[in-house]
Amino acid sequence: MTLHIRDPETWRGAPASPPILIIPGLYNSGPDHWQSHWERSLPGAERVDQQDWERPLLGDWTISLAEAVRRRPGAILVAHSLGCALVAHFARVTGGRGVGGAMLVAPADVNREGPAGRLLVGFSPIPRERLPFPSLVVASRDDPYVEIERAEAFARGWGSDFVDLGRAGHINVASGHGPWPGGRVLLTRLIRKVAGAEARA
């Protein structure tokens, strides 16, 4: 399902407060990034820290995420850029045990050319299997790190709902996404979907 967000409704909070694991991409997310705003403002939010943010190693990053999920069962994963690829690898290796759902924002194409692309080679190829938990991919039409068609293909493979934000850059500070209240609306919808799936189980 593709959603087109133009005038997001006001953040109204979620029906429950599951743990939130913030998963940044390459170089981490700075203090003005929406992930950092959410970490500070969302109840139960915690950042998944990595040993080396500048030279990412898939094995090390996966271990860090697995440990965070072990400590926060039922967590909603909120990933950005390379963090989205990490979630896909984590789900393939672990079967997604302990994860409630995932919001995957601006998934970086790890196969791209250039210096940053070479840093991400260990994350390639990105698994395309269906994720074993409810998920949402949010992408932009002018993201320099992934073409919109590629992001939509990831969403189809993962079985994720897909949100087209239009021309929103890499959905980061540089593209004007500070607190990003519209993203909070999307997160609330995902949490409600997770809660509904758990109630039906």
- Angle, alpha carbons 179-45-85 (nearest 5°): 80
Mean pLDDT, the chain, rounded, equals: 90
**Is residue 6 pLDDT above 50, yes or no?**
no
Q: Which long-range contacts (CB under 8 A, 24 or more apart) does 152-159 make?
A: 152/2, 153/128, 154/84, 154/88, 154/104, 154/107, 154/126, 154/128, 157/128, 157/129, 157/130, 158/88, 158/104, 158/128, 158/129, 158/130, 158/131, 159/130, 159/131, 159/135
Q: What is the pLDDT of residues 27-73, one digit of tens each?
A: 999 999 999 999 999 998 999 999 999 999 999 999 999 999 999 99
CB 142 within 8 A of CB 168: yes
Structure tokens at 165: 């934000």
Weakest mean pLDDT among 23-37, 103-117, 148-162: 103-117
* pTM given for the model: 0.90
pLDDT confidence of residue 150: 95
